[in-house]
Amino acid sequence: MYQITPDDRQYVEEFRKTPVGRHSPGLQRILNLFRGEAMAGKYVLVCTKPHREWMLGQFTGVRGEKIRMTNHSFTSLHEAEWYVFKQRWKRHTGEDLPD
Amino acid sequence: MKRIMGYSDQISVCPDDTIRFMVNCEAAGDYSARIVRVIHGDTNPDGPGYKEEAIETAVTGRYPARRQAIHAGSCAVVPDHAFLAALGSFTVQALVWPTTPAKGRQGLAGRWNGRTGAGFALGIDEGGGLALRLGDGRGGVAEVAAGKPMLAREWYFVAASYDAATGAVSLYQEPLVPYARTDTAVAISAPVALRLPANVQAPVVFAARHAGVAGKRTLFAEHFNGKIDRPRLANRVLSRLEMEQVRGDLIPVALQSSMLGVWNFSKCISSETIWDDSPNRLHGETFNLPARAMTGHNWTGEEMAWTHKPEQYGAIHFHDDDLHDAGWEVDFALKVPAGLKSGVYAAHVAIDDDEDFIPFVIRPPRGTASSKLLFVLPTASYLAYANEHMVTDAPLAELLTGQVSTMQPADMFLNEHREYGLSCYDSHSDGSGVCYTTRLRPIITMRPKYQSWLGGKGSGLWQMNADLHITDWLEAEKLGYDVITDEDVHAEGYTALAPYSVFVTSTHHEYWTKQMWDALDAFKKHGGRLVYTGANAWYWRIAYHPTRPGVMEVRRAEGGIRAWAAEPGEAYHSFSGEYGGLWRRNGLAPQRMAGSGFTAQGFDISSYYRRKPDSYDPRARFIFEGVGAEELIGDFGLIGGGAAGLELDRADRVLGTAPNALVLASSENHTGVYMVVLEEIYINSPGLCGGESDLVRADLVFYETPAGGAVFATSSIAWAGSLSHNNYNNNVARITGNVIRRFLDPAPF
Ligand SMILES: [Fe+2]
């Protein structure tokens, strides 16, 4: 499996600008790692107001179990992507990305 | 929170027909119901918004809320019979292939009265091994257990006998394939003090245990996951040698009078009947559609088609999450009034802050057409995806969409209520693929206002809610149209299409029976015009159940993008005996039907088309009337922001695109999330993504047919999401309108 390297820091800004869409191969490689994570603990957005508000949850990894809701709610999917990216970055590198 | 949901007994009705609606309401009080004609289901504030036409009918009113439950899990049942009444001593045996022996108690074969607790039940116990349970009906239970767990996905011979005079029980758990250092074989004899009562008055049940009755319904518990092959019931204690003698299909003469039931699951495979080869004819029925035409313990691999060697397909694969018919009580019914225009309708039910739409189609009066334009609602494809659980069950969902998955409250309900049944994109709880699907249950994915994680960035449209963009645009353009469903095309063939001159597909008309294929092929041969406003159509070959409406089968045979793969030897449909898999692998690639076929997919953002030299051909002039030479086509839209997206098709002469086809435009600049389809890949290699591979594109295709008709293909699922852009004034809408208006003109091409 791919491991994040210090060089990958250069792609963070690219993601922040365009979390969904056309990406450089370097960013795509990071996203393949992040987005491909296993179900246990995987993030999911639960729509609370159609097209307006989403609440972040995490799967337990056990089929049929309730999603564990966090208390993070977003009014833009862009914001939500960035939040999730930061959590995953931290988990893989130990590094906190600035808001 | 999801609190109200329902379904109807039919999906397509004509004036004067009666359609019934069944509703489960988890809130107290009463709910409102009314009939609406659904015009547009996309709630995205950037689009036209939800639109309906209220229809005043006798349904309008309030109804008492009540809970109606779904009981999932399949089994097979032989009704109680006089021949069973005298049963004292017995032997019960079968060949079994457990898939989840460790999941807890599971019934294999028994005659147990769930109300009284009397009878016997051969099954798997908490330890994963074979066990015979005996109940005296007065609360007394005795059990003899093998004490060793069975291995999953291995065939076992299992048997138990009981001597009514002595209470002696024998139990055999024998793997057909031995392994070194892993001994799971058990043969034990033990006396029990308990005596079975004279007549336990119970059906014989396979793959579950009878658990009593609730109202008119029989309840079952301890559903088994796995295959059962050749179960037998004898009216005395058989020796181990005699058990062996009756294991096969020919029962020795000397043992024939000892046999109460010699069930042969290789007979009546396309039905719900389980056949008893014994003269007693203790035939039974399957419940909740367990999978048939499954390889048995004796399958050799020499034959792949069950119709050729049915004796090697004597197994039924049962699942604890199989479902056929929710079986709810009717809440209200609609006698379809005369004079309603053909279209997509729904019963709208609501309580507190929750609502549900139960969609159905109203056709024109039987035998008539009210337009030359026909829109076919892809109910087969809706069924294939019905209540899919990919986001919650498949880690690759987020990789496919290139964005954190989003779920709706209804998806949360489905995740926690597996009894609402699975889709053909899911796997059963034991990991085996789901090959049957049914509409006799609430289908939350087939709803206006539903947003799907698969629908790309933007509105989140997939299937019905995307298809409503097509009918909404037809309304906006004041183009009259009739609506029928895949089920109608399947049942009536070309007759259903003959009154029309233009057939408009849905955004994703993926699943076709041979009958449907032949109907559309005949339509084209008669000069009918085809407008293919989607992508990845004519992909999977499917079969409808021969006698149970609303039940469909897909065998995901080799090749293609598959959510699961059929096991070796299980690629032929049980309902029809036909080979499953891609139409392309059945000799009919989609390019033969519409000039364009599946080439790539990705579910993040969409792109645009750029005109090609063919678009300036005089034959194509009518298509581009009012479209500038330098215009990008569809660089806007509610599905991923462009008209070319989600799934894409391309023209290919080798796969059957007509030699006279014009490729008018192609899409470009797709993201790295888009990938070439698997059926194009023989040797995998880097360079198969959007931006790398030329195969990642949608081709806008036009060609004339020899009968004076024509075909137009947009080759993209996202196309429909661009139609309403700029108040329906845009080049995607213009091109679609140009095509449909010319196609409605009877002048031959
Ligand atoms: Fe599909």
B75-318 maps to which CATH number?
2.60.120.200
pLDDT digits (tens, 9 = 90+) for A2-37: 999 999 999 999 999 999 999 999 999 999 999 999
In this structure, which amino acid lies at residue B551?
Answer: V
Are B404 and A46 a contacting pair at CB < 8 A? no
Q: Does residue A15 form part of some domain? A: yes
Q: Does residue A11 form part of some domain? A: yes
C-alpha R_g of chain A: 14
ipTM computed for the complex: 0.98
Q: Give residue B324 CA to ligand 1 midpoint distance, Å.
A: 22
Q: Give residue B508 CA to ligand 1 midpoint distance, Å.
A: 7
Residues from chain B that touch A63, judged by Cβ atoms under 8 A, are 392-393, 418, 429
pLDDT above 90 for B251: yes
B contact test, residue of A11, A31, A35, A78 with most B CBs within 10 A: A35
Question: Which pLDDT band, with edges at 50, 70 and 90, does B86 fall under?
Answer: confident
Domain that holds residue A76: 6-93
Structural tokens at position A78: 């862009």
| Chain Cα centroid distance, residue B23 | 21
Mean pLDDT in residue range B696-701: 98
Q: Give residue B167 CA to ligand 1 midpoint distance, Å.
A: 57
Nearest C-alpha in A relative to B456: A20
What is the domain count for chain A?
1
CA atoms within 13 A on the CB side of A18: 11
Task: Please write down the HEC assignment for all residues of A1-70.
Answer: CCCCCHHHHHHHHHHHHCCCCCCCHHHHHHHHHHHCCCCCCCEEEEEEECCCEEEEEECCCCCCCCCEEE
pLDDT digits (tens, 9 = 90+) for B500-520: 999 999 999 999 999 999 999
pLDDT digits (tens, 9 = 90+) for B349-363: 999 999 999 999 999
Are B406 and A46 a contacting pair at CB < 8 A? yes
pLDDT above 90 for B182: yes
Say if B1 is an interface residue toward chain A (CB within 8 Å): no
Question: Quick one: which of B160, B149, B61 has its CA closest to B120?
Answer: B160
Question: Which pLDDT band, with edges at 50, 70 and 90, does B569 fall under?
Answer: very high
pLDDT above 90 for B158: yes
Q: Among partner residues B43, B415, B671, which is closest to A51 by beta-carbon distance?
A: B43
Q: Does residue A98 form part of some domain? A: no
Q: Among partner residues A32, A67, A80, which is closest to B399 by beta-carbon distance?
A: A32
A contact test, residue of B2, B404, B639 with most A CBs within 10 A: B404
Mean pLDDT in residue range B117-124: 97
Q: What percent of chain B has pLDDT above 70?
A: 100
Nearest C-alpha in B relative to A62: B393
pLDDT above 90 for B373: yes
Are B398 and A35 a contacting pair at CB < 8 A? yes
Q: Give residue B588 CA to ligand 1 midpoint distance, Å.
A: 18
Residue A6 C-alpha, separation from nearest chain B C-alpha, in angstroms: 23
Say if B419 is an interface residue toward chain A (CB within 8 Å): no
Nearest C-alpha in B relative to A27: B672
Mean pLDDT in residue range B187-201: 94
Fold of B4-69+330-366: Immunoglobulin-like (2.60.40)
Are B605 and A21 a contacting pair at CB < 8 A? yes
Q: How many other CB atoms are there within 10 angstroms of residue B376's CB atom?
A: 25
Are A47 and B406 a contacting pair at CB < 8 A? yes
Nearest C-alpha in B relative to A45: B406
Q: How many other CB atoms are there within 10 angstroms of residue B599's CB atom?
A: 29
Question: Which pLDDT band, with edges at 50, 70 and 90, does B215 fall under?
Answer: confident
pLDDT above 90 for B199: no
pLDDT above 90 for B20: yes
Residues from chain B that touch A66, judged by Cβ atoms under 8 A, are 412, 415-416
Q: DSSP string of B254-307?
A: HHHTTEEEEEETTSSTTSSEEEE-STT---EEEES--EEEE--TT--SS---TT
Domain ranges of chain B: 4-69+330-366, 75-318, 596-703+713-741
Q: What is the pLDDT of residue B216?
A: 85
Q: Among partner residues B393, B403, B669, which is closest to A63 by beta-carbon distance?
A: B393
pLDDT above 90 for B426: yes
Are B402 and A84 a contacting pair at CB < 8 A? no
Q: What is the DSSP letter of B606?
A: E
The Cα B570–Cα B116 span in angstroms is 40
Q: Give residue B271 CA to ligand 1 midpoint distance, Å.
A: 28
Interface of A with B in 68-87 (CB under 8 A): 77, 80-81, 84
Are B402 and A20 a contacting pair at CB < 8 A? yes
Q: Does residue A99 form part of some domain? A: no
